[in-house]
Structure 1
Amino acid sequence: MNPHHIRLPGSLSWQSVTHHEIALLRLHNQSLWTQQDTQPAGLLGRLAAVQAQEFAYAKWSIGQRTSGATHEGIQRAYVEGSILRTHVLRPTWHFVHPSDIGWLLDLTAPRIRILNGFTQREHGIEEAMLRRSNAVLAKVLAGGHHLTRTELASKLAAARLPSTGVPLAYLVMHAELGKLICSGAMRGKQHTYALMEERVPAAPALIRDEALAELARRYFATRGPATIRDFATWSSLTLAEARRGLQAVQHGLERLHADGREYWLAPADPRPAVKSPRIDLVQCYDEYIMSYSESRDVLGFGALDRPQFVHFIMLDGLRIGRWRHQLGKGGAEVQTSLDRPLNAREAAALQSAIRRYQRFHGGDS
């Protein structure tokens, strides 16, 4: 590595690559270092989905990948419905593009329902209860009504259905997985739900093999280098289905090997040199973390855990510490916890990363 620049690998005709080279390629392909989009919706159209479990931090995952994005701009896109938030891929929230939400749910909801089955049975949630809940939700949201979870809970309670805790969460998730409801407009700081058919323009359905191929194509193009097991875990597909999706698109991908693993990624484009040291503040559910299971180790994880600082500081793509924020009227205050001391240039890079985050939240720093 040059002391001033990182040259991203341009030729991928090798039989092996290092962990750090894999991390650098992921940073480029995930748009963390080379933003290709100016609008959140465009980014989601390429990435297919972005985990959105922690809403405030999840908006930063979109913002740092989108040129010129601000917290307010992403919030506006969410309120207007050009980006949506629902349970898809895995039993957690994701941001998705309206044109993708239908086929993504058709593809992954069956597996999520299987994964949810044990908890539902444990809490006495039966099929008849799910059908009754869907009927109530469809009625109270019809006509463009966007209701908060608390308001939905009140309607369910009036119908003598579960309205608190885990059972409520699973009734609402079931309605999301069935393409009945999705995110509505914000009401102040409160999230709402809306009928999906009233929120999402009609889009053509994909047959299952088409959907498998499309998801595989987007995953390996934007997350590669990645393994087939990485893809299966990220998508919640079975390994057999993940292989089927990869086989449909592998003619347009390249294959690499490292440490006995087989990695796939889109063919290399010219990649610019990136100034080093470069520090990125990555939230703990960011796609740079959550897109990988088998090969997450290449990102430098394994240092002493500090649970009060749950998000990650990445130096040239490798973890060196953790961070968290406190949001106020004046913007964002960022606190850090480092695994090792930083030299002067690394410390300056950290301050630059903090200023990027503060600007995203409207700060003057």
Structure 2
Amino acid sequence: MTNRPLARARLVAQGIVAGAGIGSGTTPGSTSRNPTPHEVARAFAALQGQDLPGVLSSIALRAGTSAQTVVDAFNRGEIVRAYPMRGTVFALAAEDALWISQLCNAAPVRAAINRRGQLGLENHHVATAAEVLERTITEAPTPGVPRSQVLAAWNAAGIATDGGRGYHLLVHFISTGHAIYGTLSTDGHRDHDVMLGAQWLPAGSDLASRFNDDEVAATAELLHRYVLTRGPLTLRDAAWWTKLPLRLLRPAAEQMLAEHDDVEIGTWTNAGPTSAASAHRDDEPQYWRAGLPEEVATVGRRVDAPLLLPAFDEVILGYPDRMYIVPEAHHEALVPGNNGVFRSAAVAGAQVIGFWKRGPSAASGVRRFVHEPFGTVSASRAAQLESRYAAFPFPR
């Protein structure tokens, strides 16, 4: 069943509710100014990025700006997309892409390498592909080239890219920092240019330079950002999100608590937060940013106002258990056919009340709002959702 107090706390922590701040790069709960897209990306450490239009809108919603402003941040090199965890693409601040990838993606990289035989790829193919990639980008008149151009260059060099081979090579080079998804290519928001990591990522942003290869220190930093922007959450939530082992996360949590006074620990149930000292001894500890209960109280009823979330938004995908906000009866419909494609969610009263999408264009030429509610929706709530749709930061 859904847990409204927990959902309200997480909605406020994520900065997606009017008047709520985000955890790092801005003052939590501050309404003095909106964060920049780069500050949002840095605060969240990594935002689910399989759906490019969706992640542009997710960042824009938290920054209180347009999707074009987020595109501009990508084009300035402030934000990139990479494969830092779980073999999945995320949007990150450029200065975080390399060290987070080096910390978290060793296992996915090894697993992908072990599958090369099934793809008909050998080490000499990968070495040649790296040379062709570097030459293609270096000789281009722009800092990066469209993905289609990279694939064409590999095919011309005798490296077949069909059957998943091209995708495998791109993911490998981006996962290892040799390349990165940077600027938005000329076909709009539909794809990124591929850039060379050495040219596009900030110098000194690798794990060795940032943390002297201290994995506990790096994990403490990553965990701190996860807690501030998505708590209340447990270390098991963090283990699912990062795929880092608990044996690393536990000392990292101790270091985080020793170094930062902006984290509280306890439990957050249907009755609200309980301090660690008052929690039941069998309860798994949860972490959240200091002052979050007061922020939730200050935000008040605004946290229950209708929201439209993009596909793959962190409110849904930032946690292993989504039924804190998605009613169990409709959870399966969130990912039809369990095919990994998450639908856009409509939220009200701190729970998902249906799904939504952009329908065919009306007579005015504007694509209309299509809501698929779980139950009856009042006229006033329907009007609020329409208003949210009209103001939604769609990429152009």
TM over 0.5: same fold? yes
Which one of 247, 265, 268 corresponds to residue 255 of structure 1? 265
In the TM superposition, residue 82 of structure 1 has moved relative to its aligned partner by 1.6
Aligned to 1:266: 289
Aligned to 2:307: 280
User: CA distance change for structure 1 residues 229 and 195 in 2, over 3 Å: closer, same or farther?
Assistant: same
Indicate the SS of the match to 2:346. Answer: strand
Is this contact kept in 1: 2:16–2:61, CA < 8 A?
A: yes
Say whether 1:157 aligns with 2:155. yes
Indicate the SS of the match to 1:237. Answer: coil
Say whether 1:71 aligns with 2:67. yes
Runs of at least 5 residues in structure 2 that lack an aligned partner in the other structure: 23-33, 271-282
Aligned to 1:38: 35
Aligned to 1:355: 390
User: CA distance change for structure 1 residues 167 and 362 in 2, over 3 Å: closer, same or farther?
Assistant: closer
User: CA distance change for structure 1 residues 268 and 276 in 2, over 3 Å: closer, same or farther?
Assistant: closer
Aligned to 1:5: none
* Correspondence list, 1:218-237, <5 A: 218-237=225-244
Runs of at least 5 residues in structure 1 that lack an aligned partner in the other structure: 1-17
Aligned to 1:187: 185
Indicate the SS of the match to 1:303. Answer: helix
In the TM superposition, residue 221 of structure 1 has moved relative to its aligned partner by 1.0
Q: Residue type matched to 2:102 in 1?
A: D
Aligned residues: 342
- Output one character per residue of 1:179-207: Cα deviation in whole Å (capped at 9) or x when no partner: 11112322322421011111122133322
* Correspondence list, 1:311-330, <5 A: 311-326=344-359
CA distance in 2, matches of 1:261, 1:284: 30
- Output one character per residue of 1:320-352: Cα deviation in whole Å (capped at 9) or x when no partner: 100112597956532110001123443333223
CA distance in 2, matches of 1:232, 1:309: 21
Q: Residue type matched to 1:298 in 2?
A: Y
Q: Residue type matched to 1:236 in 2?
A: K
- Output one character per residue of 1:265-296: Cα deviation in whole Å (capped at 9) or x when no partner: 12225412243641111123111111100x32
User: TM-score scaled by structure 1?
Assistant: 0.85
CA distance in 2, matches of 1:119, 1:265: 39
CA distance in 2, matches of 1:142, 1:276: 49
Is this contact kept in 1: 2:56–2:395, CA < 8 A?
A: no
User: CA distance change for structure 1 residues 322 and 153 in 2, over 3 Å: closer, same or farther?
Assistant: same
Indicate the SS of the match to 2:90. Answer: strand
Root-mean-square deviation over aligned CA pairs:
2.6
CA distance in 2, matches of 1:132, 1:89: 26
Is this contact kept in 1: 2:56–2:70, CA < 8 A?
A: yes
Is this contact kept in 2: 1:281–1:314, CA < 8 A?
A: yes
CA distance in 1, matches of 2:303, 2:291: 21
Indicate the SS of the match to 1:84. Answer: strand
CA distance in 2, matches of 1:331, 1:56: 18
Aligned to 2:329: 303
CA distance in 2, matches of 1:342, 1:326: 19
